[in-house]
């Protein structure tokens, strides 16, 4: 059965984008960020394609367990850490490294039963004011972790830039200076750079980089596209036409009748909507590709459908014809801007009913 909506994942593009990241940060190891179902691309599929990464980063224990259940043996780091004895035991059993960002996590490690030491990253809050310790708390946590036989030494040192996508924001350099000052006399690997910092702040690359969006072929910088830095789009979101009708001049289309036909119009209905993750606020006039030709959305996005003005297509639209929502020829960065959001939200918003399939991974 042909799915109504599908996302095709180009695993060769994933590997190419990893090579671009390595070229950008030749002195750093790569912790590929594949949390949130690999930004909507399929957690296990992406991990298998990115087997040349040095480690994987996920947010939570359940994501790490899904990787291990699929036979992924590469190091996995839990960016939010663990929060109770059960999660700590799972981290021990499945060899998860994790981030420590609150004092309670230090206490948890102090009480941990003997076993193989954990790979721990201690997070310094340099100005994001989200996760991480500062000042005396950071110093005390580092001193405590450095004494624990259950923690592999030396402890890793991590922070996160709040505005790395805004090159001119002076807070970026202040954060880098705070990190350097707080960790100046400490041993251990460093990690600061996310995708935006990889592009904007080479000084943030350190021992490990943590690319996310770049791996999926998408630029994290407003007004730019991944192709500009050599990236290839990984996800192509497709639907197909399930209905066709002729609409007279002056007739309204869709909920609220926000779109009115200004001429006799051939209207196609494609089986995709906000129930699939295609944003409800994508405005009328936004482009899609029908059989590779550009056409425009007509009316509001519904839960399961969109209307498309196909009147002027060079080839008459037919039932079953393919409709491309984003992908090659229609960058997700462009579509996110039209919807008034960021590419992260479009990609992560792909719903469970969208069929995800991959192109063959080259040998």
Q: What radius of gyration, in Å, describes the C-alpha atoms of the chain? A: 23
- Tokens 């994987």 -> residue: 56
Strand ranges in the chain using DSSP code E only, listed in sequence order: 6-9, 29-33, 55-58, 76-78, 96-100, 120-123, 156-158, 190-193, 208-209, 235-247, 252-253, 259-260, 265-270, 287-290, 293-297, 306-309, 322-326, 355-358
Residue that the structure tokens 């367990």 belong to = 65
Options 74, 216, 255, 278, the catalytic residue: 255
Do the Cβ atoms of 122 and 109 come closer than 8 Å?
A: no
DSSP labels, 83-101: -SHHHHHHHHHHTEEEEE-
Q: Are 222 and 199 in contact (CB under 8 A)?
A: no
The angle subtended at Cα 43 by Cα 39 and Cα 47, nearest 5°, is 110
Q: Is 255 a catalytic residue?
A: yes
Please identify which of the residues 35, 123, 274, 344 carries the catalytic annotation.
35
So which residues are the catalytic ones? 35, 255
């Amino acid at each position: 059965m042909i799915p109504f909506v599908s996302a095709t994942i180009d695993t060769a593009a994933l590997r190419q984008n990893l090579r671009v990241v390595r070229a950008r940060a030749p002195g750093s190891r790569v912790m590929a960020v594949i949390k949130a179902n690999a930004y909507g691309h399929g957690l296990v599929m992406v991990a298998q394609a990115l087997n040349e990464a040095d480690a994987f980063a996920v947010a939570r224990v359940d994501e790490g367990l899904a990787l291990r259940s699929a036979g992924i043996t590469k190091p996995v780091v839990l960016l939010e850490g663990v929060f109770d004895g059960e999660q700590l035991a799972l981290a021990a059993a499945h060899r998860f490294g994790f981030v420590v960002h609150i004092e309670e996590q230090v206490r948890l490690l102090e009480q941990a039963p003997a076993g193989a030491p954990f790979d721990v990253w201690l997070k310094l809050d340099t100005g994001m004011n989200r996760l991480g310790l500062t000042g005396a708390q950071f110093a005390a946590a580092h001193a405590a972790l450095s004494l624990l036989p259950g923690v592999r030494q030396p402890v890793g040192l991590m922070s996160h830039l709040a505005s790395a996508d805004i090159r001119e924001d002076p807070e970026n350099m202040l954060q880098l200076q705070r990190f350097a000052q707080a960790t100046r006399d400490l041993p251990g690997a460093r990690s600061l750079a996310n995708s935006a910092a990889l592009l904007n702040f080479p000084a943030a690359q350190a021992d490990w980089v943590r690319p996310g969006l770049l791996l999926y072929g998408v630029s994290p910088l407003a007004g730019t596209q991944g192709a500009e830095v050599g990236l290839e789009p990984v996800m192509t979101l497709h639907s197909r036409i399930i209905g066709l009708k002729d609409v007279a001049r002056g007739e309204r289309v869709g909920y609220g009748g926000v779109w009115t036909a200004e001429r006799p119009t051939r209207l196609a209905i494609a089986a995709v909507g906000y129930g699939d993750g295609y944003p409800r606020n994508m405005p009328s006039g936004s482009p899609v590709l029908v059989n590779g030709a550009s056409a425009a959305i007509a009316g509001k996005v519904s839960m399961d459908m969109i209307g498309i003005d196909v009147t002027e297509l060079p080839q008459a639209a037919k039932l079953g014809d393919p409709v491309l929502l984003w992908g090659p020829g229609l960058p997700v960065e462009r579509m996110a801007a039209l919807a008034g959001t960021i590419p992260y939200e479009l990609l992560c918003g792909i719903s469970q009913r969208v069929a995800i399939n991959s192109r063959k991974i080259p040998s």
